[in-house]
Structure 1
Amino acid sequence: MSDGELILVAGALLAAGLAAALLAGRLRVPGLLLFLGLGMLLGSDGTGWIDLSDYEFTRRVGIIALAAILFEGGLAAGYSEIKPVLRPGLLLALFGTLGTATITALAAIWLFDLSTLEGLLVGACLAATDGAAIFALLRGSTLRRRLARTLEAEAGFNDPVAILLVIGFIEWIEQPDYGVLDMAGLFVQQLSIGLVAGLVVGFAAVWAFRRVSFATGGLYPVASMATGALAFGLADSLHGSGFLAVYLAGLVLGSNAIPARQTIISFHEGLAWVAQIGLFLALGLLVFPSQLGDVWVEGTVLALVVVFVARPVSAALATAFDHFTAAERLALGWAGLRGGVPVVLATFPVIAEVPNSRVFFNIAFFAVVVSTLLQGATFEPLAKLLGLTTDEPALPRPIAETGTIRRLGAEVVEYPVGPGDAVVGRPVRDLGLPRDALLNVIVRNGEAIPPRGSTVVEAGDRLHVLLRQEVARQFPALIERWQHGPFEPQVERRPVVRGGSVSFSTRPWTEADGDPGYPTRLGDCTVIRYLRTRRDRPGALVLLDDGRYAITGSALAVGAAAQIQRYARRRLAADLPDAARAWWQEVVGALAR
């Protein structure tokens, strides 16, 4: 096959995958199942257009695809989103996976007359939920946010557990003197190295993103791809869990304010879709329907055991001490979709030439088909029946970023106004934008509208906001208010300090005070307004709830407006760099009213 023909085939397969995704949406069936079916149709037992029987190549494709999917999952989630559900997510990832593997193993031993270790290996292959399937399910769901984030956290953390189980049981089968202590040591080694590698690479990437200016915005996704590859490769080279490392690196990167953040997330979402299509096409090509006849009855029964018994029981036990209702535990149990992960894991024993490994691979295929059909197609109706859905998407709608002008210290973001947003019907003057942010255009019905204070925001509008990087971290809270309220017009007023004169104080800034660039509370007072943000170093001029003003930075000064002005003028009398002098002049001007 020539280079041109190879590229043509690749393009045709991607186009066919996109068509399958569109068809799946119309038929209300999971798109991943159609990708798998497309691969089987094109494979040796189908049309015979593509002959693929290389398990090692398929495993390699699967590992790369799963790494890309996990990185995108961590990047889109962010630690602040999964922190409230971190405990149940980890318990499901660890004990839920172990419980599912154990119950499935007992059924596999009985159905296929396997040895104990072979049964445990089959159980390990089928134990993990699939990140791609879960993320795809949640993107089209209106499940309660807490349940959705719990499933998202589990999907990110359970793949390393299942992979280690599979590797451990293969070693145990091949080496009779291998045992439980060896597997425990393997878990500790792999997970600890993966944890450290993921966090180190993730935080190093955040540090680099904040200090390096690229010539074009298109290089930011390249840098994020390098982050994921470095995390996985470093952990794997040190005999750690690359899957845990790549997920954590994505989580760290997605949890911090970095330039072109939404551009990076959008790029990796598209890359994850390509990975899903490629993964399921490759797995479909590797499945030979003519070989399924010997195990289809027992394989289907085992898949039903996983769906109706192993996963629900394990999920209920893993979350027994968390605050979930019976209905929520039922939904968590039913949401344990098996996707490409079990089939990828089933290639491990085939490559290791474990006895009956081809049977294991075919069993995994049935588990994927049954789980995707039953759980994927019925999850949303079941959640609605249990009263666990809302009017909002399970995963929050992202802010679509249109570009970065980071060299000038600012970014441009685009916010699509939804029909149910609290901001609909409000005039622009009530948006509550920080001083260092500006609504520069509204796009409505394909036309650009210059905004005025009286312009009313309508559903379907796209608000293009120019903001300084110093106020970027305030923007998510503002978006939350635009979406959900409470939405009251901003009233410009100054609280009055009662009880006599105002005392002035100054002292060094300490770590206990928090971030000087974005203080939220100073002593017993709450920051109620950000008046100015310092640009050359962390610092701000803020208004406190008791009516006093404060300047933050290397030192903290608190007092009345006139007192802060005098303090700023004294600083201006010193020999200062130009940037510092500009800051103190800005403070004086802000308070001169």
Structure 2
Amino acid sequence: MITDPTTLLVSVLTLGVGAQWLAWRMRLPSIVLLIVLGLAIGPLGGLVDPDALLGEQLFPFVSIAVAAILFEGGLSLRVKELRETGRQLWRLMTVGILATWVLITALGVWIIGLDLELALLLGAILVVTGPTVALPLLQHVRPERRIGALVKWEGIANDPIGALLAVLVLEWMLAAGAGSSPFVSLAIALVAGVGIGGFGAWFVGLALKRHWLPDALHGAAVLMAALFAYVAANGVHHECGLMAVTVMGIGLANQRDLDIEHVLEFGENLRVVLIGGLFLLLGARVQLADLALLGPASLAFVALIVLFVRPFAVWTSLVGLGVPWREKAFLGIMAPRGIIAAAVASLFALQLEEYGFHQARLLVPLVFLVILTTVSVCGLAARPLALGLGLASEKNDGFLVLGAHPFARAIAESLLAEGVRVVLVDSNRANIAAAEAAGIPAHHASIRSDWVQSDLALEGIGHFVGLVPNDEVNGLAALRFQSLFGRANCFQLAATARDDETSRLDDQALARVLFGAQFTHAELERRFVAGARPRRTTLTDGFQFSDLLEQHGDGAVPLFCVKRTGAVQVFGSDMRPTPEPGDRLICLVADQAARIERRASAA
């Protein structure tokens, strides 16, 4: 076992980020890999002991990390998403939570044999569906926009409500609120959480709008303000700080005339590190001896939570709202428990044992068993289920194309003929009308509008391509979509060379250069007007890529390579695919007359 605390902490955080990279490469849910790795370095390998590593600071560290993750999650919530999911979310937050609480309480009494008080507390803890698990899973699954928004809202809003409910049950058990009603305690917590969070959102928004802070401090200052709100709300009522940071994040995200994209990017980067560290510590903290306390009945308890409690709560909550059964079935499995449930259970078990609740020693292993099971089931089954129900695309190789001019339409038709999803966006109505007449999915909109990112159906889309004549618009639009598709999948045409220093773009493009550095919009348009068109060619053992280039000479511009597996590769200045027999190439090929004229001219 490593004993140096600094080495241990750095190693845990590095392993957390490394595990997420490995999961991305293997196309696996990162949460599952993190839990397995945590078990390997903890109870199985004996390399890390979180309690020895952080001591009494373990729970404060977990609390602050979860508060930061919840705040970042709140920043990603847009109230306009509730136009389609508001009623469903309200039902899940009320009927769903109540049904889950009652059923888990009943299972705790009948199957595990817990006293009613402890079963009520266990049920309250397990109503939480943590965003620390749900958000990474949504990035992996990429379900349809409506169902994705509902899962995201439920996961983030559920966390503070569940934690607060558990606190109220604990207060009732310990008679800490003697002389005051639990409903009074709940009212105080709600007022403190919403009030402090709302005030924090207003004040921070005011500071950003009036430029009281330099840009370099925006991310750090906003995060520190959120953590201050968390501590202040917790000072009023235990665990209502989670509600405060959630409200503050939502409040900031939905203010008019306030750009928080850079703050959100800072939070997303921090979330990657925190989630990796938290779930490694969670897995490493599992004690095999504690799990041994549980008998076979605990397996039935967990199985019923996954297979009966969650589906029943979802179907009961959404009855009469017209939600398709496919969406209900997907929601029925998307209830992974996360770090909040683990932290609350560990903290409360210690307090209850001090007060003589002997069955409290079962609380932690039961919660950890539920976490391990639900995370594994959701992580492994969510994407296959979404694909089977038709709620997600099997491949995300499609293209969002900026521009619907004739050349862009010709490229779109070639990709569509290969079964690749393409969506065109243009602010020119005539171009959009021509695209729609040709049967190409197209939308009249500004690429920088919020509607494109929040309302446009982008299922199956994994690339952005900027094809308009304006180099700056191409680059800025690509920059906007890097957070959605990743830097590796955002492309723009090569910038036109300019001698005027005042109008020359920075040498470093804002996105990857499409097709090649010499193929500007003007050059591609010139070829297109001269008769060049995108052509699809299947390579064989007798006609390979080199033969195609030799046949057409400089009259062929390789654009895309569609592999035999269906994956699409883009030709770019820093990316030259190696086509093989069986692959299909899409090339911009000059017509024969133009090629003869060019060769004669060169001679």
TM range (shorter): 0.5 to 0.7
Q: Where in structure 2 are the equivalents of 1:376-395 lying within 5 Å?
A: 376-389=379-392
- In structure 2, relative to structure 1, the CA distance for the partners of 1:36 and 1:373 (3 Å cut) is closer
> 2:67 matched to 1:71?
no
On the 8 A contact 1:194/1:235 being kept in 2, the answer is yes
CA drift of 1:421 comes to: 3.7
Give matches, 1:131-170, under 5 Å.
Answer: 131-170=131-170
The 1:295/1:433 distance shift into structure 2, 3 A limit, reads: closer
2:310 matches 1:264: no
CA distance in 2, matches of 1:231, 1:304: 38
Partners of 1:57 and 1:301 in 2: how far apart? 35
Report how far residue 332 of structure 1 moved. 1.4
The answer (yes or no) to whether the contact 1:37–1:284 under 8 Å persists in 2 is yes
Residue of structure 2 in register with 1:41 after alignment: 40
> Do the aligned partners of 1:30 and 1:372 also contact (CA within 8 Å) in 2?
no
The CA deviation string for residues 185-234 of structure 1, in whole angstroms up to 9 with x for no partner, is: 2222212221122112112211110101544x321101221231233223
Partner of 2:87: 87
Report if the CA contact (8 A) 1:88-1:318 is conserved.
Answer: yes
How much does 1:165 deviate?
A: 2.2
Q: Would you say the 8 A contact 1:296–1:366 is kept in 2?
A: no
After TM superposition, give the deviation of residue 313 of structure 1 in Å.
Answer: 0.8
Q: For the Cα contact (< 8 Å) 2:17–2:272, is it kept in 1?
A: no
Aligned to 1:568: none
Aligned: 1:350 with 2:382? no
1:237 lines up with 2:223 in the alignment: no
CA distance in 1, matches of 2:295, 2:497: 63
Task: Single out whichever of 298-307 and 419-428 deviates more from structure 2.
Answer: 419-428
Matches within 5 A, 1:93-492: 93-175=93-175, 182-212=181-211, 214-215=213-214, 217-239=215-237, 241-256=240-255, 261-295=260-294, 297-354=296-353, 355=357, 356-389=359-392, 420-423=422-425, 440=472, 442=474, 448-450=494-496
Unaligned runs of 5+ in 2: 403-419, 433-443, 449-469, 476-489, 499-508, 513-603
Structure 1 distance, partners of 2:242, 2:30, is 24
**What is the rounded CA distance, in whole Å, between the counterparts of 2:277 and 2:70 in structure 1?**
15
The aligned counterpart of 2:595 is: none
Measure how far apart 1:79 and its partner are. 2.2
What secondary structure sits across from 2:472 in the alignment?
A: strand
Where in structure 1 do 4 or more consecutive aligned residues deviate above 6 Å?
A: 176-179, 424-435, 444-447
Percent identity between matched residues is 24
- Measure how far apart 1:447 and its partner are: 8.1
* Separation of aligned partners in 1, 2:137 and 2:234: 29
**Matches of residues 577-588 of structure 1 in structure 2 within 5 Å?**
none
Please list the CA deviations of residues 155-201 of structure 1 after superposition, one character each: whole Å capped at 9, or x if unmatched.
Answer: 1211122112221222222229969x833322222122211221121
Shift of 1:310: 1.1
Q: Which runs of 5+ in 1 are unaligned?
A: 400-417, 453-460, 465-593
The alpha-carbon distance between structure 1 residues 427 and 329, as it changes in their structure 2 partners (threshold 3 A), is closer
Contact in 2 for aligned 1:93/1:155 (Cα 8 Å): no
Answer yes or no: is the 8 Å Cα contact 1:107–1:302 preserved in 2: yes
Q: How many residues align?
A: 432
CA contact (8 A) 2:100 2:313 kept: yes
Q: State the AA in 2 paired with 1:276.
A: I
Distance 1:296 1:57, change over 3 A: farther
CA distance in 2, matches of 1:237, 1:184: 19
One-letter identity of the residue aligned with 1:229: L
Q: Distance in 1 between matches of 2:288 and 2:343?
A: 17
**Code of the aligned partner of 1:111:** I
Paired position in structure 1 for 2:439: none
**TM superposition shift of 1:295:** 1.0
- Closer/same/farther in 2, CA of residues 84 and 434 from structure 1, 3 Å limit: closer
Q: What letter is aligned with 2:372?
A: V
* Counterpart residue identity of residue 360, structure 2: S
| Distance change >3 Å, CA 37–CA 58, structure 1 → 2 | farther
Per the alignment, residue 31 of structure 2 pairs with 32
Q: Distance in 2 between matches of 1:376 and 1:304?
A: 16
Q: CA RMSD in A?
A: 3.9
Offset, 1:247: 0.9
Taking the TM superposition and a 5 Å limit, the aligned residue runs for 1:508-519 are: none
**How far apart, CA to CA, are the structure 2 residues paired with 1:52 and 1:427?**
62
The residue matched to 1:422 in structure 2 has which SS? strand
Distance between the aligned counterparts of 1:187 and 1:258, measured in 2? 34
Amino acid of the residue matched to residue 225 of structure 2?
Answer: T
SS at match of 1:292: helix
CA–CA separation in structure 2 for the residues paired with 1:205 and 1:178: 38
1:134 Cα shift?
A: 0.9
Report if aligned partners of 1:439, 1:451 keep a CA contact under 8 Å in 2: no
Return the offset for 1:143: 1.6
Is the partner of 1:218 in helix, strand or coil?
A: helix
Letter in 2 for 1:422: L
The 8 Å contact of residues 474 and 492 in structure 2, kept in 1 or not, is answered as no
Scaled by the length of structure 2, what TM-score is found?
A: 0.64
**Secondary structure, in 3 states, of the residue corresponding to 2:170?**
helix
Looking at structure 2, the residues matched to 148 and 159 of structure 1 have their Cα atoms a distance apart, in angstroms, of 17
Task: Write the letter of the residue equivalent to 1:450.
Answer: T
Counterpart in the other structure of 2:582: none
Report Cα offsets for 1:119-174 as digits up to 9, x if no partner: 11111222211111111111122322111111111112111221122212222222
